[in-house]
Copies of this chain bind each other. A is one copy, B any other.
């Protein structure tokens, strides 16, 4: 249970953040997590606020609350004494000052919005602008306003609000203006010729990160970019915890939808400001996310995504308006939400298919989206087959003792130097704070090569090692009752805590890599193909941009038969797909066709699933004690 203060309520308390000095005044009894969010900081809550993962640690420098029993068990006495607490365990009952590492605050995480190569497209958006000069009414030509407009533009669908505004708008424009049209649907009638100002926004809604781009829908030019951490992280780091949270009741669903919409709205506002463009001139918003993110975004109860047989609500594209969804752009803007392929193969994967043109390749090709989950699509022999794996968010640093997102202070690359010891690179050259996905892959590959981890995934004891360089062997320790590998000494880190890779962490990586590899193997086998036949393996997702091909192959994230030269990291393909759909009606239609054409395979129904999965749980056999290239 979270602590709830019994002290008498006063109206509000002030939460102060150090070093920024930012404050938030919140009502008595506010959950510290929410207070931090109010102050602009999104804590990590992989366990959904249950007090079990320890990822929401904060340093209370003034006004630290009494530690709870859970905290006494999870945090050592010295840390408790200097004010370390878990944000999820406390409700504010007084003013509080918290020292927050900058990396936890939004905007500093390098969230991927770049796509490897900007896909070329004919700019012909679903929403078009047409300038019209109408004859003003006269005695003798008393045609109704709408009839007059339709005689110039063809039949229109006009909602009641716009119909109410139309007579005033036509007269204010002296009957000369620009019609904004979404097919037959009239979005607006603007005075004068406004064809030059025509914007569209594309948003990628990831489980962990949000990325957006504002586009000139006339030229296709990118005007602005924005990124955020997905604020829903505080309800759990994976889709299942969020499904569970949202499925509790309508208020929970509304709440988890609201926090996401609030941040997307901030991103839209921020991009419009950066481009010095009015929000009202954004007439198109495309959104691509995994199935759960899309349902939460749309306010569609995701409970059936959390139950066998994991059925999505819509499947095909959802078209709605900004007003219906609550986006701050033109209220009648066309909102296009990407179609999904299955319960765990979502619109982000369809966006990737669209952006990479995977289906158009002659040789068999694979798209792997290593985001918070691992989704795979195989294109072979004119057919598309997709599957979701249960990879989990290990590659994003979650569920790893000292894992973290790719943010300042994250170790992102690890190698062995001439002296046989580790070389680390951290993002922003900051003091190390933890390990991000690419470093985890490097590290696991390195430990396998040096025989420190065996194929069965066990961290060997120092005395068992035959070939490992002594500096590495010396890093084998026992911590928290389990074997661990010391990545950085306490003295070397930002917060004075040693950074370890524990035995349990190795198991997590083994599971995650094995799940993806097993999925790839099952898809290939069902298509009668082998890994060696693959002409191209496209790895998408924020993670994929930073890992090293050989490390990925070494730990068995991909079948080792794949030629490393055929692996290509394509970056944020979901956002690239959303961008195409924002700029082209044909691409919206293509997205719908791709999703409909793509066969969805529930891996668990494959008769050889269990055997394949069990085999993939073993790290691949491979060369050991070879110095990293």
Contact = CB atoms under 8 A, between A and B. Distances in A.
B315 A143 contact: yes
Interface stretch (A305-313, A449-457, A490-498, A500-508): A305-313
A342 interface: yes
Given A163-B313, A168-B301, 20 more contacts: A139-B602, A139-B605, A140-B602, A142-B309, A142-B600, A144-B314, A144-B340, A145-B304, A145-B311, A145-B313, A147-B315, A147-B316, A159-B324, A160-B318, A160-B320, A163-B298, A163-B300, A164-B299, A167-B300, A167-B313
Interface of A: 137-147, 150, 159-160, 163-164, 166-168, 171, 298-301, 303-304, 308-316, 318, 320, 324-325, 340, 342-343, 600, 602, 604-605
Nearest to A166: B313
Contacts of A160: 298-299, 318, 320, 324-325
A300 to B, nearest CB: 5
B146 A313 contact: yes
Contact of A145 (B314, B320, B600): B314
Most buried by B among A142, A303, A343: A142
A341 to B, nearest CB: 10
A309 B139 contact: yes
A147 to B, nearest CB: 4
Contact of A164 (B301, B310, B604): B301
A314 B150 CA distance: 10
A330 to B, nearest CB: 17
Given A160-B320, A298-B164, A316-B147, A310 B605 contact: no
A163 B309 contact: no
A310 B166 contact: no
A315 B167 CA distance: 12
A343 B340 CA distance: 49
B343 A150 contact: no
Contacts of A308: 139
A412 to B, nearest CB: 37
A7 to B, nearest CB: 40
Contacts of A314: 144-147, 163
Contact of A312 (B140, B145, B343, B605): B145
Contacts of A340: 144
A342 B142 CA distance: 7
A342 B311 CA distance: 52
A394 B342 CA distance: 68
Contacts of A315: 143-147
